């Protein structure tokens, strides 16, 4: 039976290093101090999310369906993975985006723009 190497020390919660590697075929053993990959350091829940995200080829709609979660939840989980891997997440100014969307929907409701134009503008604000 093989077990997954723990990422964090159960005593102090600091990062653990791998101290030996063994070939499963010829039993060659290498000892030293090795770090695990960035993906291996992610918590199990984030690793599972990354696996689904890759399986869905990054299509957020497919990830929503696969995991049964909403678009904002997919985005938040993705941002969490990005941050956990040590990268900076660039957040869109949510207040500004909401105002623009409300203005577009208001113009559509008043008949000032067509549904096609509203859809185009909403897609543009989502980028």
Domain extents in the chain = 44-84, 94-126
Q: Using a cut of 0.85, tell me whether the model's pTM lies above it.
A: no
Residues in the chain: 127
pLDDT at 96: 53
Closest CA relative to residue 51, chosen from 39, 69, 36: 39
CB count, 10 Å around CB of 77?
Answer: 19
pLDDT reported for residue 109 = 85
> 20-36 b/e with 16+ CB inside 10 Å = b?
eeeeeeeeeeeeeeeee
What pLDDT, on a 0 to 100 scale, did the predictor assign at position 127? 65
Distances (CA, A) of 52 to 5, 22, 38, 42: 22, 30, 17, 14
pLDDT tens for each residue of the chain, 127 residues long: 777 778 788 899 888 888 999 999 999 999 999 888 888 888 889 999 999 999 999 998 999 999 998 888 888 899 999 999 999 987 655 555 665 787 788 778 877 788 888 888 888 777 6
Confidence at residue 30, expressed as pLDDT on a 0 to 100 scale: 95
Q: How much is the pLDDT for 29?
A: 95
């Amino acid at each position: 039976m093989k077990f997954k190497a723990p990422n964090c020390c159960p005593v102090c919660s600091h990062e653990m290093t791998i101290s030996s590697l063994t070939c499963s075929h010829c039993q060659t053993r290498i000892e030293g101090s090795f770090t695990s990959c960035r993906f291996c350091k992610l918590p199990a829940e984030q690793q599972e999310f990354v696996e689904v995200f890759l399986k869905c080829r990054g299509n957020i709609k497919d990830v929503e369906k696969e995991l049964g979660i909403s678009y904002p939840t997919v985005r938040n989980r993705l941002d969490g993975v990005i941050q956990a891997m040590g990268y900076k997440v660039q957040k869109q100014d949510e207040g500004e985006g909401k105002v623009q969307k409300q203005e577009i929907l208001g113009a559509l409701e008043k008949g000032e723009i067509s549904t096609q134009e509203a859809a185009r503008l909403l897609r543009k604000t989502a980028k």
